[in-house]
Amino acid sequence: MSTEINHENLTEKQRNSQAKRAALASLVGTTIEWYDFFLFGTMAALVFPKLFFPGNDPYVGLLQSFAALFVGFAARPLGAAFFGYFGDRIGRKATLVTTLLLMGIASMLIGLLPSYQTGGIIVTILLVFFRFCQGFGAGGEWGGSVVLSVEWSPKGKRGLMGSMTQVASPIALLLSSGVVSLTIFLTGDSFHVWGWRIPFLVSIILVIIGFIIRRGVADSPQFTKMKKENRLSKQPVRDVFKRYPKTILLVILASLAQGVPFYVFTTFAISYGSEQLQIEEQFLTNTLMVVSVVEILVILYAAHLSDKFNRKSIFYAGAIVTVLMAFPFFWLFDTKVAFLVVLAMSLAIIGAGTVYGPLAALIAECFPAELRYSGTSLGYQLSAAVQGISPMLCVYLLNTFNSTAPISIYLIVASLLAIVAVANLKKAKYMDADMAS
């Protein structure tokens, strides 16, 4: 099925139809990719320490498991550079189809791995390699999905359209948590033996669905126009670092206000709750589902408000909420009272969700069309590499100080740095004229 279209002859109705397709493709495709990415995080907290990093010290096993988790984050900037080049040279759509396939195949292969006891150290090496592939694919996914949806956005809806990529994150968390929770329920004691494989193997079905949807989307009007006018950058990755080094740094810092609290309040919280507080695993994964629903609603409303008022103001509000919740989150969580645990995680995610809503459009608006895929991907994914140490760092801080206070301070510092960074971000020249009308 060909998706080549003449953008200049599109009616308003046809343009809106293509915009909806782009939004759906961003939502579904990114949901599938993040499903795989988050699934690894949940299993790194619940299953992988004993399965792939066996030893006498649970603390060391958990650190090693989260180190494998971090490999995916470290790979994301590399994926951003690689796919950013092709996204700005060949096209947004074709690149996104490739990232989707890479993520899905890597996840399926993780589900087929034998345990350490069966295969030895080579199995652990393969786990880390497949995690690297996941991160490499995710590195090109986010920026391309954001750019495709934002460049197709109708006037005055750039924030909301960009949030289609953002809202995919909590939907994926809801989906992965739901599948894990259902699998725990169905397999019982066998979950840690073979049941954990099921959620990974399910991902290949989701990838096929996403592949079909993405094939039906046309490339953005901006990329098509640049290609026709021969305005494509020959070295987009080099050019974006050369022309926008300060912007890249500011985007890295700005993204901390979403990534750091998200991984502390989800991935680390699962490990902390199950290992330190002895809270039932299924209760925690069910709570993640509630948290996901809360974040979906917050992201969409925050994105809508960013179109109506001001993106930066909405971002500041979200970062401040995280600062205010940094200590109360653990106070409530440590009670081990079911209602208060759910309340803690639900309230804490509001800050990250409010930041995440306008973040996609905010970042995309900082780069010109010819460098937008590379700039958006690199800035966000370099930040992700920093954010990825959060679960591992939190385990270290908790074990070293025997207190969650240093973790709360970490959350506050990350949020304040992000506020300063966003205050200094500026739109790219001719940004509004460059976007779809």
Give the pLDDT confidence score for residue 429 in this predicted structure. 60
CA distance 67 to 61: 10
Give the pLDDT confidence score for residue 261 in this predicted structure. 93
Which tokens belong to 319? 């970062």
CA distance 396 to 278: 19
CA distance 89 to 232: 6
Residues 6+ apart with CB under 8 A from 318: 257, 258, 302, 350, 351, 352, 353, 354, 355, 356, 357
**SS3 of the chain: helix, strand, coil, percent, to 5:** 85, 0, 15
Residue 153 predicted with pLDDT over 80:
no
Closest by alpha carbon to 116, among 102, 106, 126?
Answer: 126
| 63: region left, alpha or beta (phi > 0 left; psi from -120 to 50 alpha) | alpha
Residue 114 predicted with pLDDT over 50:
yes
To the nearest whole number, what is the mean pLDDT of the chain? 85
Closest by alpha carbon to 351, among 287, 252, 251, 259?
Answer: 259
Q: What single string gives the DSSP state of each residue in 77-92? A: HHHHHHHHHHHHHT-H
Structural contact between residues 263 and 391, judged by C-beta atoms closer than 8 angstroms: yes
Give the pLDDT confidence score for residue 4 in this predicted structure. 53
Give the pLDDT confidence score for residue 249 in this predicted structure. 95
- Residue carrying structure tokens 């999905």: 145
Residues 6+ apart with CB under 8 A from 183: 191, 195, 196, 198, 199
Give the pLDDT confidence score for residue 350 in this predicted structure. 96
Residue 373 predicted with pLDDT over 50:
yes
Expressed in angstroms, the distance from the first to the final Cα of the chain is: 27
CA distance 87 to 148: 10
Give the pLDDT confidence score for residue 409 in this predicted structure. 97
Residue 411 predicted with pLDDT over 90:
yes
CA distance 310 to 395: 37
Q: Which of 22-31, 72-81, 127-136, 299-308 has the lowest mean pLDDT?
A: 22-31
Residue 23 predicted with pLDDT over 90:
no
Give the pLDDT confidence score for residue 156 in this predicted structure. 78
pLDDT band at 1 (very low <50, low <70, confident <90, very high): very low
Give the pLDDT confidence score for residue 14 in this predicted structure. 67
CA distance 117 to 428: 54
Give the pLDDT confidence score for residue 245 in this predicted structure. 93
Q: What is the mean pLDDT of the segment spanning 168-174?
A: 85
CA distance 32 to 23: 14
Cβ-in-10-Å burial (0-12, 13-18, 19+) of 403 comes to: exposed
Q: Name the H helices within 272-367.
A: 281-308, 311-333, 338-364
Q: What is the mean pLDDT of the segment spanning 271-285?
A: 87
Give the pLDDT confidence score for residue 56 in this predicted structure. 63
pLDDT band at 293 (very low <50, low <70, confident <90, very high): very high
Q: How many CB atoms lie within 10 A of CB 125?
A: 12
Q: What domains are there in the chain, each with its CATH number?
A: 12-428 (1.20.1250.20)
Question: Comparing 2 with 220, which gets the higher pLDDT?
Answer: 220
Residue 425 predicted with pLDDT over 80:
yes
Q: Name the H helices within 188-310.
A: 197-215, 221-228, 236-243, 245-254, 256-263, 269-271, 281-308
pLDDT digit string (tens) for 174-231? Answer: 888 888 889 988 998 899 889 999 999 988 888 888 888 777 777 777 777 777 777 7
Give the pLDDT confidence score for residue 2 in this predicted structure. 41
pLDDT digit string (tens) for 301-326? Answer: 999 999 998 899 999 999 999 999 99
Cα atoms found within 13 Å of the Cα of residue 378, Cβ hemisphere only: 26
Closest by alpha carbon to 328, among 352, 316, 345, 350?
Answer: 345
pLDDT digit string (tens) for 67-77? Answer: 888 888 888 88
pLDDT digit string (tens) for 320-352? Answer: 999 999 999 999 999 999 999 999 999 999 999
Please, what is the angle between helix 338-364 and helix 158-187, to 10°?
140
Closest by alpha carbon to 191, among 43, 52, 74, 76?
Answer: 43
Residue 11 predicted with pLDDT over 70:
no
Q: What is the mean pLDDT of the segment spanning 361-375?
A: 88
pLDDT band at 436 (very low <50, low <70, confident <90, very high): very low
Structural contact between residues 256 and 112, judged by C-beta atoms closer than 8 angstroms: no
Residue 7 predicted with pLDDT over 80:
no
Whole-number Cα distances in Å, 60 to 49, 57, 393: 9, 5, 13
Exposure string of 29-49, with b = 16+ CB inside 10 Å and e = fewer, is bbbbbbbbbbbbbbbbbbbbb
Give the pLDDT confidence score for residue 437 in this predicted structure. 41
CA distance 313 to 311: 6
Residue 300 predicted with pLDDT over 50:
yes
Question: Comparing 217 with 83, which gets the higher pLDDT?
Answer: 83
- Residue carrying structure tokens 């510092």: 413
